[in-house]
Structure 1
Amino acid sequence: MPPTYSLIVPIFNEEETINVLYARVRAVMDSLGEPVELILVNDGSRDQSLKLMRELQRQDSSVCYLSLARNFGHQIAVTAGLNFARGQAVIVLDADLQDPPELIPELIAQWRQGYQVVYAQRTKRKQESWFKKLTAYLFYRLLQRLADVTIPADTGDFCLMDRQVVDLLNRMPEQNRYIRGLRSWVGFTQTAVLFERDARYAGEVKYTFRKSLRLAINSLISFSKVPLRLSTYLGLFTAALALGMVVLVLYWRLHQPHSPLTGLAAIVIAILFLGSVQLVCIGILGEYIGRIYEEVKGRPLYTLAEVAGFEPTVTKK
């Protein structure tokens, strides 16, 4: 019987959490009373994660897994799971147990009420540093102001999506993917389920500051043209400032020839300021051009090394 629900869990070096994750997810699956498939996506793990996934699949036929040929990143791992999911409702959650599987019935209840996207919204982050909390708070508010679509604040990839939404996401070809932005872009009826985010069960944090910053830049570039407009405004501002400096320098030269403001220091400051503005604008343009370069190459989003638990007719989209 085709599954009613598909649970997608991207995994990268999570050997310490997989068995506990499976036990908690299995308990939730049993309580639903409908066919469920659990899709584990190995994103190039270097530990024993893939071995544990193979064992779970041999023990439980409702467990499926994909093993990517290398580490393609969290968003691509989620995308791979979406490509293979067969359920009428698809739930995405992280493997570190910060997204509690016990919240899944609440997501499903909202889906049964007619909502096609149900996202889990964090009200509290347990055992996270003040710096992490502050930067996350500022990022989500900044993204809401700059993005072309309304992306709910304090939400991650933990969500439920209707089959219609998943089919639309699977038809989107873009390389640089930000799932929580894409699910907002497609529209449809959406609602939130509030929860307190738990601390990581075990292991090291996978989203380091560097990866989080990269994801933040990717989200801004993917859903906003404001940075491009900012470079235009900076150009206009510096042009006006330069025109004012021309007038002042001529005035000082003609009426105050011995003023220190007409010396080398003023020239160096002006050159450094204009140079820094130019570099910032070139950097912004480079980000957008880099996105264009990635898209026109037309490479597949990922490559698969191993697939198990799916019907033979299922192929990668």
Structure 2
Amino acid sequence: MELQYDYLDSIELPFAHLMQTNQTTRLICKHSMISDDGYLSLNARCSTKQMIQAFKYGNDMYTLCLATDDGNYFVGPVVLIYGPYFESRGFKDVYHFANIHRIERERLVKQMNILTRLLQCHVTTQMIGLALDNPVILQLPVSDSFGISTNNEQTHTHYYYEEALSNAIETGNDTVIHETLMKLINSGQTGHLSDEGKLRNVKNFGIILVSVLIRTAIRSGVDYEHAFDLNDRYVRELERLKTPDEIVKVIEIELRDLTRRVSRMNLTAVSIPVRQAIKLILKAPNNNISVRTIGDQLNLNCKYLSNRFKVEMGL
């Protein structure tokens, strides 16, 4: 490993090194929980006219991009804190991201200074400070937009993501699977699910997510036994993987597979009101719910709903 990688590893800053060759961007090295796509997306936003650039998410999370003859080096994401003046500066609600490094600004500037020397870049302390003072503002991740819950210890995966993925499976919209999952992974909001390291943490995230969404497939009509056979197969596949990026890719493949299985269910002849009624029945304790209650919730005439249900379900 080259000296700059050794240095970044030693100070435990997340980083990625990308290089452009023949119109293709290649990931040369990475030490981070953020997916490859996350850094590739940042790379596409980098200005070719600036040697150092900062990207800012939410309150105080940054990624720095250092442009060199050897490609772009990304350092971050990191959450900046402000030493003993932290609370007095009005940053009490800074987001504490699971697996996201927290560092004082002054220390980050010093460490970036050392990195620029190792890379033989003509970037000064003042230039690093100016980049942090004038960042490119990004919309990901932002608490209000992506359901990030904050507390004094860490951030957990918000119900928003589960609901969005659940809706995608129910509607058979597998394009939303990719979009929602990437927002979740790129935000670092996979939760802290294990003390055994990053790999185990991401595996646990995938296993929990798949297992929860299997219930959505069952509610949408997938056979109970078949659904849990699928769940076992999905979990075994996740367990054999060796890197976080592999796991993320397979999670998406599995959720897409589940979505397509639901969409293939023979529900084309079933109207929207009857589908909604079926969902309410499946969600009710012991499937015990009256026609009147369903009609009231769907704002439909009970007799009309009952007749439609019997005709369409062949009762």
Q: TM-score range by the shorter chain?
A: under 0.3
Q: Whose RCO is larger (CA < 8 A, sep 6+)?
A: 1
TM-score of the superposed pair, with normalisation by structure 2:
0.27
